Amino acid sequence: MSKKIHVKTTINSEEVEFLCEPRQSLLECLRDIVGLTGSKEGCNDGNCGACTVNLDGRIVDSCLVFGVEVDGKEVNTIEGVAYKDELHPIQKAFLENAALQCGICTPGFIVASKALLERNPNPTEKDVRFWLAGNLCRCTGYDKIVRAVLDAAEKMRVN
Amino acid sequence: MTKGSNSTNGYKVIGTRPIRHDGYDKVTGKALYGADFSISGLLFGKILRSPHAHAKILSIDTSAVENMDGVKAIVTSQDLPQTNWTKEKDAIMAKTKVLYKGHPIAGVAAINHHIAEEALKLINVEYEILPAILTAPEGLDPSSPLIDETKKNNISNHVKHELGNIKKGFEKSDVIVERTFDTATVHQGYIEPHNATVDWNSSVQDEKVNIWVSTQSSFDIRGRTAEILHLDPSKIKTTPMEIGGGFGAKFDPYACPVAALLSKKTGKPVKIVHTRKEEFESTGPTPGSNIKIKIGATKEGKILAAEATLAYEDGAFPGGVVSAGALCAFATYDIENVLINGYDVLVNKPSTSAYRAPGATNSNVGTETVIDEIAEKLEMDPIEFRLINASKEGVRRADGPKHPSIGVIEVLNAMKKHPHYNEPLPEATDINRGVAIGFWMNGAGPSSINLSVHPDGRINLIEGSTDIGGSRASIAMMVAEVLGIKAEDVTPSVVDTDKIGYTSGTGGSSVTYKAGVAGHIAATNLKKSLIERAASIWGVSPKTVSMENGILFSTKDKSLSISLKNLAKDLNDTGGPIISNGATNPSGAAPSISGHIIDVKVDKETGKIDIVKCTIFQDVGKAIHPDYVEGQMQGGTVQGIGWALNEEYFYNNDSYEMANPTFLDYRMPLALDLPMINTEIIEVPNPAHPFGVRGVGEASITSPPAAIANAIYRITGIRVNQLPIKPSLLMESIKK
């Protein structure tokens, strides 16, 4: 066991400090140390996107980032998407469009979709499909997910 | 945008699209899946697995690990109960022989999973490597090694179904087509790996093994773990956590007995979570297969004879799915003379599991491409040809039973008149259209539902069926329909095995059927009790009291009426709480038929295949929550597309090691690969269900591969004879 390292970071707008081993991924730190289990592990090698988080404005697979790397940075996870008890329009759109079945991939899709709509408020279907190509869903065939993201985009533009 | 059916047929709740009850937790990251579970004192387990596909275990030396810092316990097959040794135990941890690469040998518990992983490397196992086999045809070869040396051959199951006389049928046929297909081993590919946390409380008075697990059947996990560990089932409590997909592969106990033994040894709870590599190498897969299909028809288009010979990989242990593949092979057609032989063949791969309509997709790709070829030879429209031969209620299936109500004709007619079938194709010669249909008989099984009344008039619903894709909502909706209340006024929960009567697993498209029947019984009983309570308060006969739209009222005296909400408030003072239950093992599940129209594009320079447009038609009986019915149709369709085009267990020549055990190389469909999946819900009600439900989860996967293959033929002139349809194989054929 190697010596643990102190990490000071911002998670969902809160300052957070934790100790982790250098080998521990950000995903592992979030889930097992910080206690945020909304980010999921589907593959642990950056291919499924279930652990997608936003790191300093970019979406990353948190299984491919070491916990120690987020020192001084800003991490946003699924737990920070809703504002208090008010769901984000993307979360509402996922519910209203039945864009989830088992739900294990949902946090990753929502975090990724939010980053898309922040960059491109008026994406085409193709834009959505391209952006979400790093997130695997095995239940839905993606149809309702794509519709939910387009629906959320429309509602966010109106508001 | 196709929204499919939204007919309510006079229903108030059924056929509507309420927000699912568990939705909020799932879009906020709060829902607790198996790997999210934690408990005081938790240790982390890892499993040592065989690096060889087939080998004798000569010795296992764990001495280097025993005093390692952070390691708390090691278990091997020696820690399982030794009497009455079974194959099930051998699947949990191998005793004398490993039968596939990935076969568990030992388990380690440590203070974290990194240390447990390091410990695995220090366990020294000596093997004597044996020759291995990977495919069903190899397994059938008499010169191949035996997987089970106590048997004469590698066939673990042979099913034979016969109708009429195929010899005569083929003699009378004007056109006969015979084709052979090879399909690759594929994985269910759910995103959440298997997991189990087990806490074995071994105190003498109160022994209890608590299991928290992602499973399609908490009662199967309880029963099978009890058998393996020689415990009474009541000593095990299985809590089903939220499940991140299963598609048939989450029934087996896998890590549960290992975590249990590690917990017993340490006195602490132990959590084991599989890696993705372990998922590919040690769970699932659904079989690769060799399929021979021969069909003969008259020049008028009547099929006279059909023969199928199906050889499916069984994996290392018996329990394969050829029986279902054989049953489904010709089930959509009314054919007088049929012969079906199906073989499950032991091979050195992980023990195969169900995967959505298990076995049916394999045989379907054979049947539905041969059907297409005959229609072409007869110069008939492929849907018209199928209609001439379509099965209907009362037609005997080759495996014996007569079809109950069945919607083959309705699905075919809907396809025939649909704009997607009739619209002209683009002028480009690299795009064309294929069709195929598929069958799944659907399952049932025991189911238990408990209802109680909240003081605010909402109804509490307790059930034992794992909710894998919206069944909490659909069961709540059926209960709400009976009671005349809103879906959101029913609060459903899936509970552990101590809190509900036996409930069989979430599989075979059984839940909405069986839990619907149980829920209907429970809700009808609850309604009766509520009516009796109102009648007793009013001092009138219950026969004169009715309940509609959440209001109880006298049919004789207009002044007597009370809302369920107000009645509920005073239940305790008017006679006590009201509960009800429904427990049943209903027969009467009825088949679901799928149909696909798929437009495909083939790049003739590279062989790349794209899905341009796709419509699925499915007879669902009655769509309780149409959104989630469409979701099943779309999800199954895309799994079928993945099976057709991309997915396979890839083995390099002369290697018994799966070369692609990651989601990068085992390539499942991405959002970018696909168009929208249009859905057409067909509703031919199942008379054996109170609301007409058929199962909806399976049939959709069966027909895409054949529809795609049929489209590819129309573009390239090549009759595909294997899955996946790889660009490289297509290019070889195009060049020829």
Residue B170 lies in a domain: no
CA atoms within 13 A on the CB side of B165: 4
Q: Which domains does chain A have, with CATH numbers?
A: 5-80 (3.10.20.30), 89-158 (1.10.150.120)
Q: Which residues of B touch A61 (CB under 8 A)?
A: none
Q: Which of A61, A143, A149, A150 to mutate to test the interface with B (most CBs of B within 10 A)?
A: A143
The range of the structural domain enclosing residue B720 comes to: 289-442+590-735
User: Are B276 and A43 a contacting pair at CB < 8 A?
Assistant: yes
Same domain, B385 and B471: no
At B2, the pLDDT band (50, 70, 90 cuts) reads very low
Longest CA pairwise span in chain A (Å): 54
B312-B316-B318 Cα angle (round to 5): 65
Same domain, B377 and B239: no
B426 token code pair: 């683009």
User: Are A139 and B635 a contacting pair at CB < 8 A?
Assistant: yes
Residue B181 lies in a domain: no
User: What is the distance between the alpha carbons of residues B56 and B70, in angstroms, rounded to a whole number?
Assistant: 31
**Residue A44 Ramachandran class (φ > 0 left, ψ -120 to 50 alpha, else beta):** left
B490-494 and B459-463 as β-strands: parallel, antiparallel, unpaired?
Answer: parallel
What pLDDT digit, counting tens, does each position of B415-468 carry? 999 999 999 998 878 999 999 999 999 999 999 999 999 999 999 999 999 999
> If contacts are CB pairs under 8 Å, which of residues 136-155 in chain A contact chain B?
136-147
At B398, the pLDDT band (50, 70, 90 cuts) reads very high
Tell me the residue ranges of DSSP E strands in B38-101: 43-49, 55-61, 71-76, 97-98
CB contact A30 to B (< 8 Å): no
Domain closes at, from B584, B615, B634: B584
B538 token code pair: 């009013």
User: What is the distance between the alpha carbons of residues B98 and B52, in angstroms, rounded to a whole number?
Assistant: 7
Whose CA is closest to B246, among B198, B192, B174? B192
Distance from CA of A71 to the nearest CA of B (A): 22
Q: Give the H or E element holding residue B512.
A: helix B511-538
Same domain, B551 and B658: no
User: Domain containing B99 — which CATH number?
Assistant: 3.90.1170.50
At B129, the pLDDT band (50, 70, 90 cuts) reads very high
Residue B1 has pLDDT above 60, yes or no: no
Tell me the residue ranges of DSSP E strands in B214-365: 236-240, 270-273, 289-297, 303-315, 337-346
Burial code (b: 16+ CB inside 10 Å, e: under 16) for B377-415 equals: ebebebbebbbbbbbeeeebbbbeeebbbbbbbbbbbbb
**How high does pLDDT run on average in chain B?**
96
Question: Mean pLDDT throughout B545-563?
Answer: 96
Tell me the residue ranges of DSSP E strands in B586-632: 592-602, 609-619
User: What is the distance between the alpha carbons of residues B56 and B59, in angstroms, rounded to a whole number?
Assistant: 9
Look up residue B507 and give its amino acid. G
Angle between helices A143-158 and A106-119 in degrees, nearest 10: 40
Domain closes at, from B563, B584, B605: B584
What pLDDT digit, counting tens, does each position of B626-660 carry? 999 999 999 999 999 999 999 999 998 788 999 99
Residue B14 lies in a domain: no
Same domain, B478 and B609: no
Same domain, B602 and B681: yes
Residue B509 has pLDDT above 80, yes or no: yes
CB contact B107 to A (< 8 Å): no
Same domain, B412 and B426: yes
B236-240 and B208-213 as β-strands: parallel, antiparallel, unpaired?
Answer: parallel
Work out the number of other CB atoms within 10 angstroms of the CB of residue B417.
10
User: Are A125 and B243 a contacting pair at CB < 8 A?
Assistant: no
B244 token code pair: 């991140």
Q: Give the pLDDT confidence score for residue B8 in this predicted structure.
A: 64
CB contact B275 to A (< 8 Å): yes
Q: Give the pLDDT confidence score for residue B5 in this predicted structure.
A: 45
A18 token code pair: 């934790």
Residue B154 lies in a domain: no
User: Domain containing B454 — which CATH number?
Assistant: 3.30.365.10
Cβ-proximal residues to B205 (8 Å cutoff; 6+ apart), any chain: none
Cβ-proximal residues to A68 (8 Å cutoff; 6+ apart), any chain: A5, A7, A20, A22
Same domain, B490 and B623: no
User: What is the distance between the alpha carbons of residues A100 and B673, in angstroms, rounded to a whole number?
Assistant: 19
Residue B167 lies in a domain: no
Same domain, B637 and B722: yes
Q: Which of B1, B2, B6, B27 to mutate to test the interface with A (most CBs of A within 10 A)?
A: B27
Same domain, B547 and B635: no
CB contact A95 to B (< 8 Å): yes
Same domain, B635 and B499: no
User: What is the distance between the alpha carbons of residues B77 and B99, in angstroms, rounded to a whole number?
Assistant: 15
Q: Give the H or E element holding residue B540.
A: none
Q: Give the pLDDT confidence score for residue B3 in this predicted structure.
A: 43
User: What percent of chain B has a predicted confidence (pLDDT) above 90?
Assistant: 96
What's A66's DSSP letter? B
Residue B4 has pLDDT above 60, yes or no: no
CA atoms within 13 A on the CB side of B77: 23
CB contact A34 to B (< 8 Å): no
Alpha carbon of residue B2 to chain centroid: 26
Q: Give the pLDDT confidence score for residue B170 in this predicted structure.
A: 98
CB contact B637 to A (< 8 Å): yes
Whose CA is closest to B452, among B463, B460, B464? B460
Q: Give the pLDDT confidence score for residue B7 in this predicted structure.
A: 55
User: What is the distance between the alpha carbons of residues A36 and B697, in angstroms, rounded to a whole number?
Assistant: 32
Residue B236 lies in a domain: yes
Domain closes at, from B544, B567, B584: B584
Question: Mean pLDDT throughout B503-524?
Answer: 96
Please provide the distance, in angstroms rounded to a whole number, between the alpha carbons at the two ends of chain B. 41
Q: Give me the number of domains chain B comprises.
A: 3
Distance from CA of B460 to the nearest CA of A (A): 22
Residue B358 has pLDDT above 60, yes or no: yes
Residue B180 lies in a domain: no
B735 against B702, higher pLDDT: B702
Q: Which of A30, A36, A77, A101 to mutate to test the interface with B (most CBs of B within 10 A)?
A: A101
User: What is the distance between the alpha carbons of residues B610 and B602, in angstroms, rounded to a whole number?
Assistant: 6
B431-440 and B609-619 as β-strands: parallel, antiparallel, unpaired?
Answer: unpaired
ipTM over 0.90: yes
Please provide the distance, in angstroms rounded to a whole number, between the alpha carbons at the two ends of chain A. 52
The answer to whether residues B201 and B255 touch, using CB atoms and an 8 Å cutoff, is: no
Strands of the sheet containing B97-98, edge to edge, are B97-98, B55-61, B124-129
User: What is the distance between the alpha carbons of residues B367 and A52, in angstroms, rounded to a whole number?
Assistant: 42
Same domain, B433 and B458: no
User: What is the distance between the alpha carbons of residues B513 and B475, in angstroms, rounded to a whole number?
Assistant: 9
Q: What is the pTM of this model?
A: 0.97
What pLDDT digit, counting tens, does each position of B193-221 carry? 999 999 999 887 889 999 999 999 999 99
B109 token code pair: 């518990």
Residue B1 lies in a domain: no
Same domain, B27 and B52: no
The answer to whether residues B661 and B281 touch, using CB atoms and an 8 Å cutoff, is: yes
CA distance readout (Å), B728 to A128, B220, B582, B662, B725: 29, 43, 55, 21, 8
Question: Which parts of chain A sit beneath pLDDT 50?
Answer: none
Distance from CA of B469 to the nearest CA of A (A): 4
